[in-house]
Structure 1
Amino acid sequence: MAPRHPKRLLASIHDVGPASERAVLQLADILEARLGGPNFAMLVVPDHWGHHPLARDKAFQARLRHWSDRGIEMFVHGWFHKDMVALGSGHTNVAARFKARHMTAGEGEFLGLDDTTALARMLEGKALVEDVIGRESAGFIAPAWLYGDGARTALRKARFALSEDHWRVWDASTDQVLAKGPVITWASRSAMRTASSLAFAGIARAALGALDTVRIAVHPGDVTRPSLLASIDATLSRFARTHRPARYGELRAPARPVGMTV
């Protein structure tokens, strides 16, 4: 008898945009090989750091549309992927200042935004990405998985389906938690962060197998370090044996009543 709730593997490529095209292509090849096809998501940045506007790059728009047509889910991933608050006047909230300094390299864009600004960027990103791919986006995921109070308020108004942070995936319209557990990701900014992420991935391969949903996230910078690529490959291989490569959208599918047959 098949398990009532088969275990899922959710994989994603972050920071997708014209500037990261070559690295994204490399990462997509790795994920496709290990997951048996385009069974992963992409997180699209509309204008990375204000220097690479998706709206002006028709060739990359066509590539995104092609990926989406093949079944890759497309999330809106901020707008600039740059924390203008931290780089400008600074955060007034102590917790936000700590996160901005220690959890991201100036890229927690939605950590310090007020709800009006956050909502405007979310809606503009949603409109752009959905126009490019010709279908509804999979959801919204804040850069560096960091959300301030304003972003959380805005998210409930923006009509996205899904969102996630480091520890969970939730229904963006109802706040219902759909999956729990730490996301497995890697860091390439420094030797110390790389070593730490390699260590965590090793622990995760041994310890997270019992989770119903395992999440793996890769970034363009990962391709710059062979040790990270080897760890990513090992982690994908390990969980693909016990968890079915799946779509984020499946988490919102209504549960089938016990005893129901098709």
Structure 2
Amino acid sequence: MPANAAPPHRAKRLIVSIHDVSPRSERQVDQLAEALSRRVGDARFAMLVIPDHWREAPIAGNAAFHSRLRGWADAGVEMFLHGWCHRDETPATEGLAGFKGKHMTAGEGEFLNLPYQTARDRMAEGKAMLEDILGRPLAGFIAPAWLYGEGALKALADVGFDLAEDHMKVWRPATGEVLARGPVITWASRSKARIRSSLFFSALARTALGPMPTVRVAVHPGDTTVPALLESIDRTLARFAASHAVSRYAALLPGAA
């Protein structure tokens, strides 16, 4: 039985996402979508969309990219807002926030240090723009690099997103209810050391995370530049598609079919 037709009685779920979707990464996103489809089925994944990637690739006014987004959504891809520009424009230099900004991302923790009102404005504007383009509600919000500051966490509940995600969980912003726990499996391509460490972690995860009821796999456009990462992604998807039902994030919500 193909992975996208997994028996409905399976309790375990595999949730897959493509990050950093924008006009700047369109070719790589197509490559990733093709690779994912071979393992989990056509459009059986989520896309995380950036409205203006690094202030260099605005979606507003890009009719061709609007059409692509609608086509993906119409085919069944879940759509999330993924920040606004994906760049940390208010970097911290001290404390835990400074450590996260320096070591957990390459200057891309956009929502780690934003004050509440700025975070709320970016979330609300991005949500309105994408929902207008798609003609349907977004599935939720996922911060760039999975990093949230206090202002962003407060804004999430106020803007009205159904779902949010960080490295270790998926939750409902309105109530704080945690819907899934466990580390997301992802890869890094920006240095040889990070490539090695992500290959090591994904290999470990293929064994260690097997018992988890929900396994999340996230891929990035940069992964397409490293053949070893693409091979690891394929092996990871094959492993979990054999034991977990390929699912949508929305299936985690209470009362979902």
Structure 1 residue 239: Cα displacement? 0.3
Q: Which residue is equivalent to 2:3?
A: none
Q: Which residue is equivalent to 2:155?
A: 154
Quote the Cα distance in structure 1 between the aligned partners of 2:135 and 2:256.
28
Residue 217 of structure 1 aligns to a residue whose secondary structure is strand
- The letter for the 2-side match of 1:215 is R
The partner residue of 1:63 within 62, 68, 72 is 68
Identity %: 58
Q: Deviations over 1:60-90 (max 9, x none)?
A: 110010000011000000000000011xxxx
Structure 1 residue 190: Cα displacement? 0.1
Question: Is residue 11 of structure 1 aligned with residue 16 of structure 2?
Answer: yes
Residue 215 of structure 2 aligns to a residue whose secondary structure is strand
Q: Deviations over 1:133-182 (max 9, x none)?
A: 11000000000000000100111101001000000000121110000000
Give the TM-score, by structure 1 length. Answer: 0.93
Quote the Cα distance in structure 2 between the aligned partners of 1:173 and 1:126.
16
Q: Which residue is equivalent to 1:47?
A: 52
1:157-172 → structure 2 map (5 Å cutoff) = 157-172=158-173
Residue 158 of structure 2 aligns to a residue whose secondary structure is coil
After superposition, the Cα gap between the structure-2 partners of 1:26 and 1:58, relative to the gap in structure 1 and judged at 3 Å, is same
Quote the Cα distance in structure 2 between the aligned partners of 1:54 and 1:201.
33
Quote the Cα distance in structure 1 between the aligned partners of 2:10 and 2:174.
24
Q: Provide the aligned C-alpha RMSD in A.
A: 1.4
Q: Which residue is equivalent to 1:259?
A: none
Residue 132 of structure 2 aligns to a residue whose secondary structure is helix
Residue 178 of structure 1 aligns to a residue whose secondary structure is strand
Structure 1 residue 92: Cα displacement? 6.2
Structure 1 residue 57: Cα displacement? 1.3
Q: Which residue is equivalent to 2:84?
A: 79
Quote the Cα distance in structure 2 between the aligned partners of 1:159 and 1:114.
18
Structure 1 residue 36: Cα displacement? 2.0
1:1-262 → structure 2 map (5 Å cutoff) = 6-86=11-91, 91=92, 94-254=95-255
Quote the Cα distance in structure 2 between the aligned partners of 1:3 and 1:224.
36
After superposition, the Cα gap between the structure-2 partners of 1:25 and 1:50, relative to the gap in structure 1 and judged at 3 Å, is same
Give the TM-score, by structure 2 length. Answer: 0.95
Quote the Cα distance in structure 2 between the aligned partners of 1:234 and 1:15.
22
Moved more, 92-101 or 145-154: 92-101
Residue 124 of structure 1 aligns to a residue whose secondary structure is helix
After superposition, the Cα gap between the structure-2 partners of 1:4 and 1:241, relative to the gap in structure 1 and judged at 3 Å, is closer
Kindly indicate whether the alpha-carbon contact (under 8 Å) linking 2:10 and 2:245 is maintained by their aligned counterparts in 1. no
Residue 156 of structure 1 aligns to a residue whose secondary structure is helix
Q: Deviations over 1:21-77 (max 9, x none)?
A: 000000000111100221100000000000100012111110010000011000000
Structure 1 residue 93: Cα displacement? 5.4
Residue 67 of structure 1 aligns to a residue whose secondary structure is helix
Quote the Cα distance in structure 1 between the aligned partners of 2:62 and 2:94.
37
Residue 61 of structure 1 aligns to a residue whose secondary structure is helix
- The letter for the 1-side match of 2:26 is E
Q: How many residues align?
A: 251
Quote the Cα distance in structure 1 between the aligned partners of 2:157 and 2:213.
26
